[in-house]
Chain A
Amino acid sequence: EILMTQSPLSLPVTPGEPASISCRSSQSLLRSNGHNYLDWFLQKPGKSPQLLIYLASNRASGVPDRFSGSGSGTEFTLKISRVEAEDVGVYYCMQAQQTPPTFGGGTKVEIK
């Protein structure tokens, strides 16, 4: 089973400022097809998770372009270029390189 580790656990942010979340996998998520099998989700308070990014860097439909994903192999980053109040919640990375899919422990983003 691939272990996913996120940092930081908690991220206080100022609206309008950038934010960055790191996700590390215990095995490479890079396939021979050149794609990294990693997704990012946001779970807003009291809501179900919503997809933000798939294949490490592809924004899901309807996701604002202030969200971007990058990285390859075992190191990945989710960046928010300018945080808005509606971005608060817990962010999770998830690997889909092998079954079972596994999630990181989550990063709680809150407004300072």
Chain B
Amino acid sequence: EVFLVESGGGLVKPGGSLRLSCAASGFTFRDHSMNWVRQPPGKGLEWVASTSTRGNYIYYSDSVRGRFTISRDNAKDSLYLQMNNLRAEDTAIYYCARDRPYAVVTDDYYFYMDVWGKGTTVTVSS
């Protein structure tokens, strides 16, 4: 069975740092691009960042670019999110989500988030 388990959340002061981890199991991690998606308390979903299978293509939302860094270690089946200079508005549940490729035409793939972890909670408060 496929699992994603996030960890590393906690309470941090504004300006502080945290490193989130997502441990994957039950599938070949290196074959899948991965995402971080967050959800502020009582609010909707916001995509944060994504990385390709080898980490050579990386994308960020405008709200975190320059402060957060997504990375992966395929040897350890793990995804990471280094969060620096945290702000109160970064308070959220952070989910990691696996991309599954779907061939729409030859050599052209659509990626959809088919597996999600249970999330880890980050609270930024003084």
Contact = CB atoms under 8 A, between A and B. Distances in A.
B61 A100 contact: yes
A67 interface: no
A29 B119 CA distance: 29
A94 B44 CA distance: 11
A32 B110 CA distance: 13
Contacts of B119: 48
Q: Is the interface of B mostly helix, strand, loop or mixed?
A: strand
Interface in B15-72: 37, 44-47, 59, 61-62
Interface string B88-117: 000000010100001011001011111011
Question: Which of under 10, 10 to 19, 20 to 34, or 35 or more describes the interface residues of B?
Answer: 20 to 34
Contact of A49 (B105, B111, B116): B116
B45 A33 contact: no
Contacts of B37: 49
Contacts of B116: 48-50
B118 A48 contact: yes
Interface of B: 37, 44-47, 59, 61-62, 95, 97, 102, 104-105, 108, 110-114, 116-119
